[in-house]
Amino acid sequence: STGSIGTQTLDIVAENPDKFKVVALAAGSNVTLLADQIKAFKPQLVSIKNESLVGELKEALAGADYMPEIIPGDEGVVEVARHPDCVAVVTGIVGCAGLKPTVAAIEAGKNIALANKETLIAGGPFVLPLAHKHNVKILPADSEHSAIFQCIQGFPEGSLRRIILTASGGAFRDWPVEKLKDVTVADALKHPNWSMGKKITVDSATL
């Protein structure tokens, strides 16, 4: 809840208190922000990544009028995902760490707003049939996927055979092939459009 997807989700909740209620939150290691979120939204349950941070979180909440149940680690994230009072789960955990709580949420019958691509990349053949079995909707919450989802709303179901996604091409899109043998790390880190982390920038350049 303390990352980009989580904070944006809570912004929407704060703007629409008549439509949404937060019942559980899961966070990484940003104790200060999580404490602020607990004070603002009063979730019944929260999870924080490391057990060593539980004491720090309780200390940050010492002056507050509300203290939720706190379960640390992987167990906590799973319990947040399948909380009995939850109707929908927003999954914004980075990487394959998002797979286990997403599966737990699906098995508990929760609809999923998915911002974790790795869940489908690594577990798609398992996750999608599981969602169908439990009559769970998986809706794209990340910007690119949501944009595609919105674009295809006007097409009859089954009318699209495939969707082709284009990319910017990275730093070397316009380079002649013979020049690529002289590429440096610094060259690869000069993305033409976006300022990103080193790994994702290099991955983009070598796509």
Cα–Cα dist 101/197, whole Å: 26
- Report, as an integer, the average pLDDT of 74-91: 96
DSSP characters for 143-190? HHHHHHHHHGGGSPTT-----PPP---GGGTTS-GGGGGG--HHHHT-
pTM: 0.79
Q: For Cα atoms 13, 141, 171, give the angle at the middle one, nearest 5 degrees.
A: 125
Confirm whether 161 is domain-assigned.
Answer: no
Predicted pLDDT at 200: 80
Tell me, yes or no, whether 130 and 195 share the same domain: no
Confirm whether 159 is domain-assigned.
Answer: no
68 pLDDT tier (thresholds 50, 70, 90): very high
pLDDT tens figures, 97-120: 889 999 999 999 999 999 988 898
Confirm whether 59 is domain-assigned.
Answer: yes
Tell me, yes or no, whether 90 and 122 share the same domain: yes
Tell me, yes or no, whether 40 and 79 share the same domain: yes
- What percentage of the chain reaches a pLDDT higher than 90? 61
28 pLDDT tier (thresholds 50, 70, 90): very high
Tell me, yes or no, whether 40 and 139 share the same domain: yes
Longest CA span, the chain: 66
Tell me, yes or no, whether 87 and 132 share the same domain: yes
Tell me, yes or no, whether 194 and 130 share the same domain: no
Q: Which two tokens stand for residue 190?
A: 């000069």
Residue 152: Cβ within 10 Å count:
11
Tell me, yes or no, whether 105 and 46 share the same domain: yes
Which residue's entry shows tokens 């994230």?
77
Residue 93 has pLDDT above 90, yes or no: no
Cα–Cα dist 106/67, whole Å: 28
pLDDT tens figures, 137-195: 999 998 888 888 898 988 998 899 888 887 777 788 888 999 989 999 999 888 777 77
Confirm whether 160 is domain-assigned.
Answer: no
Tell me, yes or no, whether 67 and 118 share the same domain: yes
The number of folded domains in the chain is 2
Residue 207 has pLDDT above 80, yes or no: no
Confirm whether 162 is domain-assigned.
Answer: no
Phi-psi region of 176 (alpha: psi -120 to 50; beta: other; left: phi over 0): beta
- For the chain, how many helices (H) and strands (E)? 9, 6
58 pLDDT tier (thresholds 50, 70, 90): very high
The parent domain of residue 26 ranges over 4-154
Tell me, yes or no, whether 91 and 174 share the same domain: no
Average pLDDT, the chain: 91
Tell me, yes or no, whether 86 and 144 share the same domain: yes
Lowest mean pLDDT among 6-10, 33-37, 90-94, 127-131: 90-94
Tell me, yes or no, whether 129 and 201 share the same domain: no
Q: Which residues contact 145 (CB under 8 A, 6 or more apart)?
A: 114, 117
Confirm whether 163 is domain-assigned.
Answer: no
Confirm whether 129 is domain-assigned.
Answer: yes
Residue-wise burial string across 103-123, b where 16 or more C-beta atoms lie within 10 A, e elsewhere: bbbbebebbbbbbbebbbeeb
The gap from C-alpha 161 to its chain's centroid, in whole angstroms, comes to: 27
- What percentage of the chain reaches a pLDDT higher than 70? 99
Cα–Cα dist 112/139, whole Å: 6
Tell me, yes or no, whether 24 and 79 share the same domain: yes
Confirm whether 201 is domain-assigned.
Answer: yes
